[in-house]
Structures are given as structure tokens and as C-alpha cells.
Chains A and B, each alone.
Chain A
């Protein structure tokens, strides 16, 4: 059986991949990665200006990509986004739930509005997206949903309880849906990035450099991840290379959870 395996295992030719939060950071790198693997990418984001730029840049480089402006916390817009994705070639094979927000604040004063907002977007929004593409995947007995969670799906740290709770919910959603949709060959997994060098994180870090330096000291690999370092895990989970993997959490965190 020599030669049975090649990098074809990770190819996504003829597949359609929908990526939320695709205008910047990890979502944008995911869009490039999926496109490089051969997928037709539908890039979604709430930031229409940023999305236009990202889509234009990808097209200029010869990638097949469709833009879809959508606020994932709005069920109507999510339905419209899924429709756009399905109109590309009649099926959505991969969903990468990358859209999300941060929400720092000490617990004793954590505003209830912030608590509700971060859960509404990060957890509920991702559920809406999963649910919008799942019926098609279930009908075709094929699909992979990848939720970008966080180390907070496994461990805790001070200063962002609502954010962490939202991501732990997302991690559990992957287990729960992974098990429930396993009979239909729809796989659901999550990725737990550690500290990633995204524009969103850079902004937060500029505001609280000491806090983030302390967090970084606890990363065994001693550095932040570059956004593209999450792409490998995404391609693994999106492709047939992971055909027996579901309900799982893969950490790309420089050893943070393990330590």
C-alpha cells in the first residue's frame, strides 16, 4: 500500500467552506488556508468594509471567494448567509465558526450586559450558524463544523469570566452536536487557540500590556501563535484526514492547557 497517502488527504477540492469572522485575524487566515486546499470559500463578517477589502485581496491573488456580510447574532442574517453559501454550488461542506468578541472585566464588577453580549455572540451566534448549515449537511450525510473556541474551554484565568464561559459553552456545543450528529456523518469539533497575534488581541494587549505579558509567561512555548498557526488544525478537521474525529477539542496553544 505504498503511496496510499499524500497531501491529497488534506485537499478540499469541490468543497464549499463557509468562514465567519473572515475579514481579519484567524478567520482571514482560515479563508486563505481553505482556499489553498482547493475549497471554494464563502467569507462572512459583520464588518462589511473589512470584508470587502479581504475578498478583493483574495480575488486579486486568484482565489475563488464569495463575500457575505452577516451579524451572526441575528438569526435572519445567519439564514441569509447560509443561503448565499449554498447558492455557490448547492452545498456547504465546511463551516468554520471564527467570529467572536473578547470581553475583559473583573468578575465582581462584571456588567451583566457584557455577560449577555459575549454569550449572545460567541456561543449563541455560533449555534445559529451551525444550525443554519446542518440540515443540508445531515441530508447529504457529509459535513464538518469547526468552532474556534479557546483554552477557556478547558482552563480558567483571571479577568474575563463572561468570555471564558462563552467559549466553554462553544467547546461543549462541539461535543454535544458532535455526538448528536455523528450518525449523519456530520462532524463537529473545536479548536482551542492560546494567545494569538490577531488585530483584536493586539488592541486588547495595548490597553493592558502587563496582564498579557503575565499570560504569555505561562505559555510553555514562550510566544504567541501567529494566526496562520491555527490553519493546520482547521485543514485537518475540515478534510477527510479527520474522518473519525468528532466532538473533540484540539489545542493549538503552545502547551498552555497541558501546563
Chain B
């Protein structure tokens, strides 16, 4: 059995969908999957951005298929799954990174913002998980679903109640479906990133410089995460390396939760 662990994180011959792939953590995870030899199906609402990422990934990946998708629209999610099935007839993993922010004080939180952030973040996570789950439940060897939530779904911070509620919902999807689909070999897990310097966070920080200053002080590592630092957890949960892990939440937060 020498060498059996050398292929633990392999994605050769595996079809993986990544949503929110045009920027930030989703793009970074797509880059990693390409490097690991996956057939990568990338989805995002931002079609031009998605084409750019596809062009970037092509030299490394086994194949790249860009699918412009609004994850909060059931028909578009179904179309994404059909397109992914066209690659190899199966879907081995879904890494769902698509999501939006939603900052506002609770007392005046606009209900339109509440509805939007819950529909896109929690609803979008469920739609993608359900649609891909239907495929995985029927195929041999099941599959792995990884949803990117946030430590904002586990602890409270002032100023974004709707966003935080949506992220807690995403975490619960992993727990609920991890248990429900466990017997059928479909694993569902969540990664809870802390503060990562994505374009979104950079823009937020420029608008409200104080927003993340307090938070930064609470980070044992004393800094925000670099995009590449999310990759390990995603590849672990999406590959055979995570074969006995389901319904779990892994914080990748520089120790913020432990503080």
C-alpha cells in the first residue's frame, strides 16, 4: 500500500463546479482546481469576468467550461447543472462561493436588502446544493459539496444582521444535508472564512475604513487572509481527503473565533 496517500487530493478526471468564480475566493479556488487537473465548470453572474478567468485557467485545467449563472434563479441553476453533466456525465464536487454582502444597521435594515441577501446567499446555496445533490445522489460514489459561508454566520458583529442570518442559514444547510445525505455518500460541508482581502472587502474598507479595523485587532494572526489561504480547506473538503467529513464547518479565520 505504499504511495496510497499520494493521490489523496487528486482531481484528475473529476468534474467540479465552482460558483462565484469570476472574482475573489471563487476565482482563487478555481485556479487551484485547474492546477490539480480537474475539469472545472465555472459559474458567475459576471459573464465578462468569467470569460477572463476561463482564459486564464485553460492552460492548466483538464478543461474549463464557463457558465454565466445567477444562482438565485432556479432555471439558471438547472442549466448550470445540465452543462456540467455534459463534461463527463457526472459531477464530483460543487464548491459554492457565490454570495453578496448586506451592510446596514438593524433598526433601519431595509427589508428589500434582507430579502435579497437571504435569497441570493441562503436561497442560492440551497438551489445549487439541491440541484447538484439530485445528481450526486443518483451517481456512483456520491460527491462532495462545499459551501463558503462566513464566521459571521457563527458569531454576531454589529451592522449586517441580514448578511449574518443568511450565512448561518448556509451553515445549517451543511449540517442538515450532511446528515440527510450522509447515508448516500453525498458529503456537504461549509467553510467559514474570516476576513479575506477580496475585492468586495477592499471596496467596503475603502468606503468605511473603520468597519474592519476593530476586527483586525481581534485576529491572532494580526492580518487579513490572503486569497490563496482559502484553497487548502476547499481542496480538502472537495477531495477524497475529506471522505469521512460531513455536516462540518471549518473556520479559516486566522484564529478569530478562538480569540
Contacts and interface: CB of A to CB of B under 8 A. Distances in A.
A132 to B, nearest CB: 11
B179 A176 contact: no
Interface majority SS (helix, strand, loop, mixed), chain B? helix
B101 interface: no
B105 interface: yes
A22 B115 CA distance: 26
A176 B130 contact: no
B134 A131 contact: no
Contacts of B115: 124
Contacts of B164: 172-173, 175-176
A177 B161 CA distance: 7
B105 A124 contact: no
Interface string B159-182: 111001111110111111111110
B180 A159 contact: yes
A158 interface: yes
A237 B158 CA distance: 21
A115 B165 CA distance: 15
A158 B179 contact: yes
Interface stretch (A62-70, A160-168, A196-204): A160-168
B247 interface: yes
Contacts, number: 132
Interface in A188-215: none
Q: How large is the interface on A (under 10, 10 to 19, 20 to 34, 35 or more residues)?
A: 35 or more
Contacts of A247: 156
A180 B159 contact: yes
Contacts of A171: 168
A11 B156 CA distance: 29
A75 B111 contact: yes
Interface string A110-133: 101001100100011001100100
Chain A interface helix/strand/loop/mixed: helix
A15 to B, nearest CB: 22
Contacts of A161: 126, 173, 176-177, 180
B107 A179 contact: no
B122 interface: yes
Given A165-B126, A165-B169, A176 B156 contact: yes
A112 B130 CA distance: 10
A156 B156 contact: no
Contacts of A135: 107
A173 B161 contact: yes
B109 interface: yes
B156 A107 contact: no
A157 interface: yes
Interface of A: 75, 106-108, 110, 112, 115-116, 119, 123-124, 127-128, 131, 134-135, 138, 152-153, 155-161, 164-181, 247
5 contacts: A107-B133, A168-B171, A169-B165, A176-B156, A180-B161
